[in-house]
Amino acid sequence: EVAVGEQTAINVTLGEDHQELEEVVVTALGIKKEARTIGYTTQEIAGAQLVKAREPNPVNSLTGKIAGLTVAPSAELLGRPQLILRGSSNILFVVDGVPVNSDTWNISADDIETYTVLKGPNAAALYGSRGQNGAIMITTKRGTGDKRRVAVEFNSSTQIQPSFLAIPERQNEYGFGSNYQYAYTNSLYDEGNVNRRANIWGPRFEGQNVPQYDSPVVNGVRQGTPWTARGANNFRDFMGVGVLSTNSVAVSSSGDNYDVRLSVANNYQKGMVPNTGLNITNFNLSTGVHFNDRLKFDGALNLSLQNSPNIPQSSSGPESETYIFQVYGSANWSVADMHDYYKGPQGIPGVQQYYAEYGRGNNPYFVAYEWLYGHRKTDLYGYGRLSYKLNDHFNLALRSQITTWNQLRTERVPYSAITYKTPDLRQGDYREDRRNLLENNTDVLLTYNQNLGKNFTLSAVLGANARLFNYNASWATTDFLIVPGVYNFSNSKNPVQGYDFGADMTVLSAYATTDLTWKKFGTLGLTGRFDKSSTLPAANRTFFYPSASLSTVVNDYVRLPEAISFLKLRGSYAAVRTALTQYSIGSAYQQVTG
């Protein structure tokens, strides 16, 4: 202190003080810790780094960004990327510290502040058996820190995919047939032709006259026309231009005792297969309120609406355009002649398709516009957390989260579609696959932080969790249709076939974690969790799994060469258990029939 006295000016000289800001990462239960004290592997990446080059799915952006995480983006519309973390594909998703059931499409990339990948069982021990292989933690954006207190953010991008990166070459030297022979029969639909089954063993394309599907019939006899590879580029000519358009707007505000953010994002995809597309709209609301110095509330709500009139199929079957062209189709016909898929005399509107190879497969335009796979899904998740600061060392929090979604997928199989069904009467079908999920997690958390003298720092969490899970699914199909083009179960020619499946689960848990740091020499971390699961036998439903870790930053107490800026040693141990559950559930048909 300096006495002012009668002085009118005081000269102050600021001295340098070198201090390093500690990196903080979000760990299990959403707890923030200094990265240098963590005894297991974590890696964090900012969401802003991953939206410069847009991906259809936000998780696709993690490709090549996280060590040990393999991301295999799906080329299919609405296909979930395959994620493998240290050899396992069973990875837990956590949003703002709360586990969610995610198809990876139900969150907007523009709402993500950071991704943190917790690797291995130590990192996710406090999330129970479903986190035994690690977790991908997503922290969403909150209210603005702008001094003007209100901020508006708008993002828009459009990408065009004109073609595939690579297309396997196919031979276009021979047409379909067998024993190097082929001739379309005199009948309208080529019935009884023994030489049309295989697709590459027919005559060589040399311009010779061969009776074909569009050759003229004179006096009941089909004439020959030049045999050429007129459809060598059928697949490229059929596929269109893919479009990915993403638009989002967010309004955020904050004050001395509150923050709020509201965003709307739309993801539109136009498939390369004609008449396919996907529209996803996400609404996100997050808020926080400080009632006083001790009591505060924060929460978030996310609604995702998905809709597709038709999802292209990539299976090896007669409903897949890729299969039609690249596996089974020949080059002796041009796809340009297939646009009118009810063209006469072969075609009859609503009843019989027109196709050069009918009997072997389906007209690709007929599949694209008549054999439809619809998709609708409503996905909602959110949480609310109320926390109270008991004193300088203890904090008590109550948190409850809900995840729920309902999904409807339909399949409309038109008359004359070749399905490989037994018997294949080609009289159409209609199917519905309904799935509903509801999950609630409620936690009570008591946290403790204190310096123990001059040498030790202790932080601990004691918590309890109740997890309620309910899944219901139904799958039903007609057994051929009575009236063409009428897609409902009352139009089934034979009795409707239906399957139902339900799964309920309750898990009650108690857990604890503690970190003890000794000066700057090292940190010991311990966790333990008890689970009581309803999926296990009544006499043996409770199990315990612990973990321990030790870490030290050598730079803090050993002078190292300048070339080594940071050296950390760590080791960990964990014992995990499972509750005889599976991390994903399919349709009722799959669950019942296997």
Is the pLDDT confidence value at 493 over 80?
yes
Considering the chain, what percentage of its residues have pLDDT values greater than 90?
46
Rounded-to-integer distance, Cα 368 and Cα 386, Å: 51
Q: How confident is the model at residue 303 (pLDDT cuts 50, 70, 90)?
A: very high
Q: Is the pLDDT of residue 8 over 70?
A: no
CATH number for domain 24-140, candidates 1.10.10.60, 2.30.40.10, 2.170.130.10, 3.50.50.60: 2.170.130.10
Task: Return the pLDDT at 435.
Answer: 95
Q: Which residue has the tokens 């959110």?
A: 382
Q: Check whether 379 has a pLDDT greater than 60.
A: yes
Residues in the chain: 594
Is the pLDDT score of 405 beyond 90? Answer: yes
Mean pLDDT computed over every residue of the chain: 87
Tell me the two tokens of residue 533.
């699961």
Mean pLDDT calculated for residue range 424-433: 94
Q: What's the confidence (pLDDT) of residue 582?
A: 65
Mean pLDDT throughout 311-336?
Answer: 85
Least confident of 78-87, 257-266, 462-471: 78-87
Choice between 412 and 147, residue whose per-residue pLDDT is larger: 412
254 Cβ partners below 8 Å, 6+ apart?
Answer: 142, 143, 144, 145, 146, 149, 260
Largest CA distance in the chain: 126
Give the closest residue to 418 by CA, choosing from 428, 409, 408, 410.
428
Instruction: Read off the pLDDT of each residue in 235-250 and give the average, rounded to a whole number.
Output: 92
Instruction: Please state the rounded mean pLDDT for residues 62-74.
Output: 85
Of 87-91, 134-138, 172-176, the one with minimum mean pLDDT is 87-91
Q: What angle do CA 90, 95, 96 make, to 5 degrees?
A: 140
* Average of per-residue pLDDT across 500-514: 92
Distance of alpha carbon 432 from alpha carbon 374, whole angstroms: 9
pLDDT at site 211:
94
pLDDT tens-place string over residues 332-350: 999 999 999 999 999 999 9
- CA atoms of 144 and 262, how far apart (whole Å): 11
CA 284 to centroid of chain Cα atoms = 18
Residues 6+ apart with CB under 8 A from 359: 189, 190, 191, 193, 196, 418
Angle at 493 between CA 491 and CA 494, to 5 degrees: 120
DSSP, collapsed to helix, strand or coil, labels residue 49 as helix
Tokens linked to 297: 């509330």
| Per-residue model confidence (pLDDT) at position 556 | 83
Q: What is the pLDDT of residue 198?
A: 61
Q: Is the dihedral of CA 85, 89, 90, 94 positive or negative?
A: positive
pLDDT given for residue 61 in this prediction? 85
pLDDT score at 563: 87
CA–CA separation, 65 vs 47, rounded Å? Answer: 12
Question: Identity (one letter) of the amino acid at 399?
Answer: R
Q: Tens of pLDDT along 517-526?
A: 988 888 998 9
Read off the pLDDT band of 106 (50, 70, 90). Answer: confident
pLDDT of amino acid 21: 46
- pLDDT average, residue stretch 107-114: 89
All structural domains of the chain with their residue ranges? 24-140, 280-307+368-593
Give the Cα separation of 322 and 528 in Å (integer). Answer: 51
- Is the pLDDT confidence value at 576 over 50? yes
Give the range with max mean pLDDT: 55-59, 193-197, 259-263, 550-554: 259-263
Contact in structure between 412 and 430 (CB atoms under 8 Å): yes
d(CA 123, CA 29): 10
- Of the chain, the end-to-end C-alpha distance in Å amounts to 80
- What letter does residue 48 receive in the DSSP assignment? G
Distance CA 363, CA 356 (A): 8
Find tokens 């005792």 and name the residue: 257
**Of 499, 529, 504, residue with least CA distance to 514:** 529
Say which residues have a Cβ less than 8 Å from residue 405's Cβ, sequence separation at least 6: 101, 106, 377, 378, 379, 380, 436, 437
The string of pLDDT tens digits covering residues 180-225 is 888 998 988 887 787 766 667 889 999 999 999 999 999 999 999 9
* Matching CATH number, 280-307+368-593, of 3.40.50.720, 1.20.20.10, 3.30.1370.60, 2.40.170.20: 2.40.170.20
Is the pLDDT assigned to residue 533 strictly greater than 50?
A: yes
Query: What is the model's pLDDT at position 4?
Result: 65
| Percent of the chain that is helix, strand, coil (3-state, to 5) | 10, 45, 40
CB pairs under 8 A, 24+ apart, for 338-347?
338/363, 338/364, 338/365, 338/366, 339/365, 341/365, 341/366, 341/369, 341/370, 345/188, 346/188, 346/189, 346/213
Q: Are strands 394-415 and 568-574 parallel, antiparallel or unpaired?
A: unpaired
**What distance in Å separates the CA atoms of residue 525 and residue 292, rounded to the nearest whole number?**
32
pLDDT at 146: 64
pLDDT over 60 (residue 19):
no
Least confident of 161-165, 243-247, 271-275, 497-501: 161-165
Mean pLDDT check: name the lowest of 118-127, 149-158, 255-264, 406-415: 118-127
